[in-house]
Structure 1
């Protein structure tokens, strides 16, 4: 495909990778005590949920099949 080799008509497009602003953004507002407490409670709630899921999930993933063969139901014993 034919490409024309012309200079860029706008200098700011050609210098976009070198552009630096002289305007500094305003400083970030500090989080209040209630916001920090809320974030902490949410984090602890998530952590407790993961820990609970792990506690209840590990026994369900247990592959010990030896003990399940020894168990019989009451209905099968009364025959």
Structure 2
């Protein structure tokens, strides 16, 4: 069986994977000092917020055994 290649409308779509452009994109502009400072400040703010929430949340996450011990001691004194 011989396969005949059918004509494809918009042949450039079929050949798009083989196409390489000889036009280079324009170079990226360097970030200004203000933009770099703003990015650093934003990063430090996010890190400070995470550390602050961790510090404020640690007492709520800690397991305290003192209320359970006082209930057991009161129950033993009552009997």
Gaps of 5+ in 1: 72-79
Aligned length: 66
Gaps of 5+ in 2: 72-79
Q: How far is the alpha carbon of 1:22 from its aligned partner?
A: 1.2
For 1:16-55, list aligned pairs within 5 A.
16-55=16-55
Alignment TM-score, normalising by the size of structure 1: 0.71
Task: Kindly indicate which of the two structures has a greater share of residues assigned to helix.
Answer: 2
Query: In structure 2, how many angstroms separate the alpha carbons of the residues matched to 1:48 and 1:62?
Result: 21
Runs of 4+ in 1 over 6 A off after TM superposition: none
